[in-house]
Amino acid sequence: MIALRYSAASAVEVRRRSTVEVHSVCTFKCGKPVDNGLFDLYMGAFGEHPCSTCGLRASECTGHFGHMELAEPQYNPVFLPYILKQAREHCSCGALRAGRICALCYTAQNSKETCCGKKRWSSRVCPTCREQYPSFVLDGGNVLCNNKELSTAAFCALSRTTNE
């Protein structure tokens, strides 16, 4: 049986595999690919110019990876549904969401009985930090946490904590 497995490389792995860091949006100068540009010859042969990484011509070189360092962290939108699912299973303090707890003494509900003399069961409060669980929704391309837009840096931090 043949199986395929997909995964995304980490930033460290991308840099390790990369043959050149692209930091110029220029492509050509006087008919030759610009060094550290989008068509740098370390990423593959172009026309009559052989590949600077493997030395092969355009018909033989399959190409090589390059990378760009961005001004701020970015998330891959392909993973957005998975990250949101994990985020919704955790509190902002990092604790895994519990079932229903007593809103007065923060004890987990073991049965349908009352606790502290009253029926004060809640599934919205974290027993660890005693705060309400955050609410995550997707609004177009924006991630909202408690109806406020989540910054890219905060979202990336959230994806790191939920994947550990």
pLDDT per residue as tens digits for the range 46-90: 988 999 999 999 999 999 999 999 887 776 778 788 878 877 887
Q: Which residue has the higher pLDDT, 110 or 43?
A: 43
Q: Does one domain contain both 55 and 81?
A: no
Q: Does one domain contain both 98 and 30?
A: no
Q: How far is CA 136 from CA 110, 126, 142, 158, 164, in A?
A: 28, 15, 10, 11, 19
The answer to the question of residue 101 being in a domain is yes
77 half-sphere exposure, CB direction, 13 A CA radius = 5
Q: Does one domain contain both 156 and 81?
A: yes
The answer to the question of residue 147 being in a domain is yes
In degrees and rounded to multiples of 5, residue 132 shows phi and psi of -70, 145
With CA atoms as reference, report the closest residue to 131 among 78, 160, 157, 93: 93
Question: Which whole number is the average pLDDT over 80-104?
Answer: 78
Q: Which residue has the higher pLDDT, 152 or 35?
A: 35
pLDDT band at 104 (very low <50, low <70, confident <90, very high): confident
By DSSP bridging, strand 20-21 and strand 66-67 are parallel
Q: Does one domain contain both 82 and 59?
A: no
Q: Does one domain contain both 85 and 155?
A: yes
Q: Quick check: 117 pLDDT over 70? A: no
What contacts 86, CB < 8 A, 6 or more positions away? 159, 162, 163
Range of the domain at 34: 7-69
Token code pair at residue 135:
């609410």
Q: Does one domain contain both 49 and 19?
A: yes
Q: Which residue has the higher pLDDT, 2 or 53?
A: 53
Q: Does one domain contain both 38 and 99?
A: no
| Number of separate domains in the chain | 2
Q: Does one domain contain both 102 and 156?
A: yes
Q: Does one domain contain both 84 and 147?
A: yes
Is 93:131 a contact under the CB 8 Å cutoff?
yes
pTM: 0.54
Q: Does one domain contain both 127 and 81?
A: yes
Q: Does one domain contain both 94 and 32?
A: no
The confidence score (pLDDT) of residue 160 equals 58
With CA atoms as reference, report the closest residue to 114 among 124, 104, 123: 104
Is 118:104 a contact under the CB 8 Å cutoff?
yes
